[in-house]
Amino acid sequence: MKVAVIGDSRGIGAALREQLLASGAEVIGVSRTGVQRPADAHSANYESLVFDAVAHPCDLSGFATQLDGLVYCPGSISLKPLRGLKREQFLSDLEVNYLGAVQTLQANHKLLQAAEHASVVLFSTVAVGTGMPYHASIAGAKGAVEGLTRTLAAEWAPAIRVNAIAPSLTDTSLAEPLLNSDAKRTAAAELHPAGRIAAADEVASLAAWLLSPAAASMTGQVLAVDGGMSSVRK
């Protein structure tokens, strides 16, 4: 299986890269900074590309003849009251979370079509389906991602499956400003009925499953990894 992981330098993307390589998959990792991995048994199956997939269409046809999977991981966390949000912030969140995904999928559609059964995984947020204060910009951008997920699942069926994962706050470097003290971590954990914050590996494991043949009947779905926030009340 050959999979492109867009945004694999940190967080969920990095965790997914390592899980896929450990499973024997070939991985093309794309990030703005590149990834320096130590030599190991999986290094021959990994190609790291330095490229800004948000700013420019990321055409991988020079590196693969087909893609069995594509995962778009870039994201942002911009939490402000509506009155404090500028137009530029809305546009930035749309560009990173939605338009970057759109142009990446457009650029690599033929590679996905060339695979026998391809799978696409995108990322939303629990804040789309569950109202949360200060999430106007990011929830709007991720809401567009959920619409794209369902649209492409219909448009590209049955050859290409398209699903999204909607996490709550996850323990990654992107969320570090929200988790950079014991008090913040405790408060964040207590918001979740599960009483904990998800690790990047946990979310990555769901993405890996969605890419696999075990998820062959899954398409057009937005799956929550949110510690029960969207469906449980304590």
The first and second tokens of residue 55, run together, are 């700013």
Residue 114's H or E segment, with its range, is: helix 100-114
Contact call for residues 7 and 13 (beta carbons, < 8 A):
yes
Phi, psi angles (nearest 5°) of residue 204: -60, -35
With CA atoms as reference, report the closest residue to 168 among 215, 210, 135: 135
pTM of the full predicted structure? 0.93
pLDDT in the model for residue 198: 81
Contact call for residues 42 and 34 (beta carbons, < 8 A):
no
Task: Give the strand pairing for 26-31 and 46-50.
Answer: parallel
Q: Which residues of 131-154 are buried (b: 16+ CB within 10 A; e: fewer)?
A: ebeebbbbbbbbbbbbebbbebbe
Of the candidates 46, 72, 98, 134, the residue annotated as catalytic is 134
DSSP letter for 51, please: -
The first and second tokens of residue 233, run together, are 């009340």
pLDDT in the model for residue 135: 93
pLDDT in the model for residue 41: 63
Q: What is the pLDDT along the chain (234 residues), one digit of tens a residue?
A: 999 999 999 999 999 999 999 999 999 999 998 887 766 767 889 999 999 999 999 999 999 999 999 999 999 888 899 999 999 999 999 999 999 999 999 999 999 999 999 999 999 999 999 998 999 999 999 999 999 999 999 999 999 999 999 998 887 777 677 777 777 677 667 778 777 788 899 999 999 999 999 999 999 999 999 888 888 876
* Catalytic (active site) residue 134: yes
Q: How far is CA 2 from CA 25, 112, 194, 220, in A?
A: 6, 10, 34, 22
Q: What is the C-alpha to C-alpha distance for residues 220 and 18, in angstroms, rounded to an integer?
A: 26
